[in-house]
Structure 1
Amino acid sequence: MTDDSRQARWENRTQAPLAVASMLFLAAYAVRVLASGLPPAGRTACLAVIFAAWAVFAVDYAVRWRLSGQGPRFVRTHWLDTLVLVLPLLRPLRIVHIYGAVQHRRGKPRLALHARVVTYAGLSALLLGFAGALAVYQHEHAARGATIRTFGDAVWWTSATLATVGYGDVTPVTAMGRLVAVGLMACGLALLGAVTGSFSSWLLQVFAREDDERPPGR
């Protein structure tokens, strides 16, 4: 059996566990950040779930690196997986990856290419926005001079940042909050570019089809 087939079998078997780990990570992180009255035992349990989810991603990454036989080149060819392993806020994106894999496993995807791009971008924005709002709220709400005092403020700021609007009514003041802001700005630009490009391509196809269907002489 080749390494490629072994890697494919491993990826097929770990899709569901990785999706569950992503959801557990996001749920545990949300409870730890938002549940202000959580007892120490509960906070410890949430932290254990967070680290367990990271361990699942780390084991999966190490196994696929070993099965790929690519050596250090694996990091470059699987850059998204590397970022997901290093940056906790990106781990929920594995849910989007699993959604795409399920669509392809059923044969021909039910949605057209442009609809899939919009769907994936929407899911990514929703998951990134929620995780980003949690991270910003965690580091900002108790900081001196902070304008992001509530989780609602964090959600509003995250939505404006991902949409590349940037009203400026609330802004992060801590180093970690600004680091999260930079990541969200980059993700927002990428998602906006993907949706805009897909929509433009769809419009061009619609206009081209209308020209082809127009009777000659008109």
Structure 2
Amino acid sequence: MDDDSPMTRWERRTEVPLAIGSLLFLAGYAVHVLAHDLPEDAREACFSLVMAIWAVFLVDYLVRWRLSGQGRRFLRRHVLDTVVLVLPLLRPLRVVKLYDSVLRRRGEPRLPLYSRVIFYASLSVLLLGFSGALAVYQAEYKAPHATIVTFGDSVWWAASTLATVGYGDVTPVTPRGRTIAVAMMACGLGLLGAVTGSFSSWLLQRFSREGDEKPPGS
């Protein structure tokens, strides 16, 4: 039987609007950070849009907390939601969840488990990489002795960090930039572990099937 609790109904109603809001949040933040030639009023309008969408995220979080009836247990059971509220740049990852929900609503078969892990991890890397590159660029490009002075530098740094390569040719020098770097390193390790573990499990399953299919006495 499907869960028809007030919290579940709220999440169903807000799923698509919040996913769209997540993308608008990322777009508004990107314009605010990258469009240096825009008039100051336009940049401030983008920042206002970002803050307004973050306020919507906060309202959604508080409503779900209230509807859950879990009190403080809600914080322990929804750690990721709390982290995303504090670090709004991770909010676009909601699109990953939305994709799965859309397939369920339409009654379409979902991808096999291993394919879903790789698909979700790949999409998460793209969103995290772009968001992290924006955040680090904003923190670094005006800092004294900075090595990340263009958005291209920031994208290169984000890619090498998420891939756990870390060439060290460009590195954050500000406390804020280094804090973002630590978070991205942790995300990169987690995503790499998920993909590697899923691929290894798929290989073992394939080899096990091939072994079971061998004729007796071969």
- In the superposition, the TM-score normalised over structure 2's length comes to 0.95
Count of equivalent residues: 216
Q: Deviations over 1:41-72 (max 9, x none)?
A: 11111111111111111111111111111001
Cα separation, 2, equivalents of 1:22 and 1:100: 16
Cα separation, 2, equivalents of 1:55 and 1:153: 31
Task: State whether structure 2 residue 167 is matched by structure 1 residue 167.
Answer: yes
* Partner residue, 2:35: 35
1:4/1:68 contact within 8 Å kept:
no
- Identical-pair percentage: 69
Cα separation, 2, equivalents of 1:83 and 1:77: 12
Cα separation, 2, equivalents of 1:97 and 1:87: 18
In structure 2, runs of 5+ residues without a counterpart are none
* Partner residue, 2:121: 121
Task: State whether structure 2 residue 49 is matched by structure 1 residue 49.
Answer: yes
* Partner residue, 1:77: 77
1:29/1:46 contact within 8 Å kept:
yes
CA-CA distance at 1:135 after TM superposition: 0.6
* Partner residue, 1:212: 212
- Report the AA paired with residue 7 of structure 1: M
CA-CA distance at 1:108 after TM superposition: 5.9
- Report the AA paired with residue 171 of structure 1: T
Please tell me the root mean square deviation across aligned C-alpha atoms, in Å: 1.3
2:28/2:50 contact within 8 Å kept:
yes
Aligned ranges 1:120-139 → 2 under 5 Å? 120-139=120-139
Aligned ranges 1:1-218 → 2 under 5 Å? 5-107=5-107, 109-218=109-218
SS of 2:5's partner is helix
Q: Deviations over 1:101-122 (max 9, x none)?
A: 2233334643100000001101
SS of 1:91's partner is helix
Q: Deviations over 1:89-138 (max 9, x none)?
A: 21111111212222333346431000000011011110000000001111
In structure 1, runs of 5+ residues without a counterpart are none
Cα separation, 2, equivalents of 1:35 and 1:129: 19
Q: Which moved more, 1:93-102 or 1:24-33?
A: 93-102
